Amino acid sequence: MAKYVAEPFRIKMVEPIRKTTREEREQIIKDANYNMFNIHAEDVYIDLLTDSGTGAMSQEQWGAMMIGDEAYAHSRSYFRFIDSAKDVFGDWAWFQLVHQGRAAEKVLMPLLLDKEQGKDVAISNTFFDTTRGHVMLTGATPIDCVVEEAKDSKLRVPFKGNMDTKRLRELIAEYGDRIGVVVMTITNNSAGGQPVSVANIKETSAICKEHNIPFCIDAARYAENAFFIKRDEAGYQDKTIKEIVREVFSYADYFTMSAKKDAILNMGGLVGVKDPEAPALNGVKANAIVGEGFLTYGGLNGRDIDAFAVGLQEGTDYHYLEYRIGQVEYLAERLDEAGIVYQAPVGGHGLFVDAAAMFPNIPWYEFPGQVLAVELYKEAGIRSCEIGSLLMDHDAEGNPVQSAFEFTRLAIPRRVYTQAHFDVMADALIEIKKRADKYTRGFEIAWEPPVLRHFQVHLKPIE
Ligand SMILES: *Cc1c(COP(=O)(O)O)cnc(C)c1O
């Protein structure tokens, strides 16, 4: 029997969610052109579209908002935030607030990458889409360099998010001085939220130092990654989550962070610069001022900066992390009992169901991951997201591109859903699995925009 780690909190305020009938949902999804982003939130029972900015703030965070200081410069909120950030990440020279993760990338990447200066290559364990976008906006080429184990969804080994350091050395030999930055994404979001070990971060950092390449952490899930290290990496069992976070960040020169994930904010981001003499420090300040706001607020309200200060701390609470990762594991165990395949072992922020395995009769170019997302909505009002060949877009000639996986992602908002909701998710998937052989056709594209099609695409079921 699957085991659920009980919540280390109780509920003080509730947000009603609407139940609908299957008949209503069939009409709603049709009217939405079978695109999950077009469904109105009001028509969703359990919303697993993303874990970004969808967490529930604590009474401490809401309380902190009441003492937010809205002074334009050097507010009290700012100093409370800096104390909290230093406590979590260590003694970095500069923490630049920004409005979200992609803003952090927009501030930092053009300072490290510059085609005219010959810095036109960036390497990562796996670039998150927006990070990849900001690398490409500078004219540079992003190269993913994740370990081979990440590519086998059934292989249960720890730290499938790691950098392939052998390949990294080969890439450095090939591109040399053209490499402007190496980015370590923790946890490795695009590889299914897979963690990265301290040993791998330390080795990557040493390789970067040896070749004088700036090493940057994409830090959205700084705390979940530390939880996996404490649980699975030899020598870390007796360390606290904060001690592990500080060690991990001691190896980096820069970090960018979306605070909408582990810092449990609805909006916010951060850039870190380690060294007071870092060449990019003045550029970070200048880019933040023109694009985000004055240095000490960076596009955020004072009240949100206070909630951020508290959220940074709460994200590192061991009992919270044990419960959070436990939720995903509970769902995974229930799916194991039913023989449903997913990216294993499960990462921190969600579960990626292998829809190609679920629907062996639907070809990839009819988007099995989208078929499962639509069926989950019809079955139980659950909104998930396709991560597969629909997301991949087409190539420059307009040909379909096959993704390595056809996933349906169930992203789990922080501190929002209960065990009963997880049973609704598992029961719905198990019901669909029982009739999965009967699905033979998927979707065709009725209309698509020129780029990032999955947000706006119109789909039509193939009869
Ligand atoms: C969410 C995310 C980002 C982008 O952050 P936003 O706050 O959505 O702009 C960057 N990197 C990773 C790994 C993320 O998960």
Comparing 240-244, 249-253, 330-334, 397-401, the range with the smallest average pLDDT is 397-401
Query: If you measure from the C-alpha of residue 228 to the centroid of ligand 1, how many angstroms do you get, rounded to a whole number?
Result: 20
- pLDDT above 80: residue 394: no
Tell me the sheet residues that pair with 141: 121
Taking 90 as the threshold, does the pLDDT of residue 396 lie above it? no
Report which residue type is found at 108: L
CATH 3.40.640.10 residue ranges of the chain are 59-314
The residue whose C-alpha atom lies closest to atom 10 belonging to ligand 1 is 101
Summarised one tens digit per residue, pLDDT across range 84-124 is: 999 999 999 999 999 999 999 999 999 999 999 999 999 99
> What does the alpha-carbon distance between residue 37 and residue 257 come to, in Å, rounded to a whole number?
24
Q: What is the pLDDT of residue 397?
A: 80
Residue in 193, 195, 192, 213 with CA at minimum distance from that of residue 204: 213
Q: Is the pLDDT of residue 191 over 90?
A: no
User: The dihedral of CA 45, 408, 145, 178: what is its sign?
Assistant: negative
Report phi then psi at 358, rounded to 5: -65, -45
Ligand 1 center to residue 54 CA distance, Å? 13
* Domain covering 22-51+318-461 in this structure, CATH number: 3.90.1150.10
> Among the atoms of ligand 1, which is closest to the Cα of residue 104?
9
- Asked whether the predicted pLDDT for residue 401 surpasses 90, the reply is no
Provide CATH code, domain 59-314.
Answer: 3.40.640.10
Range(s) for CATH 3.90.1150.10 in the chain?
A: 22-51+318-461
Residue 324: closest CA among 292, 350, 360: 350
Torsion 346-347-348-351 (CA) sign: negative
Tell me what pLDDT residue 109 has. 98
Q: Whose CA is nearest to atom 7 of ligand 1?
A: 101
Residues in CB range of 445: below 8 A, 6 or more apart:
453, 457, 458, 459, 460
CA quadruple 34, 373, 187, 418: dihedral sign: positive
Task: Check pocket membership of 269 for ligand 1, CB cut-off 6 A.
Answer: yes
Contact 122, 144 (CB under 8 A): no
- Cβ of 407 closer than 6 Å to ligand 1, yes or no, is no
Residues annotated as part of the active site? 72, 128-129, 218, 220, 261, 454
* The pLDDT value given to residue 151: 83
Bridge partners, residue 354, by sequence: 407
How far, in Å, is the centroid of ligand 1 from the Cα of 128? 7
414 in ligand 1 pocket by Cβ < 6 Å? no
Pairing type for strands 458-461 and 443-447 reads antiparallel
Residue 101 in contact with ligand 1 by CB distance below 6 A:
yes
Whether 44 and 373 have beta carbons less than 8 Å apart is answered as: no
Look at strands 382-383 and 350-354 and give their pairing: unpaired
> 124 in ligand 1 pocket by Cβ < 6 Å?
no
268 Cβ closer than 6 Å to some ligand 1 atom: no
Whether the full predicted model's pTM is greater than 0.85, yes or no, is yes
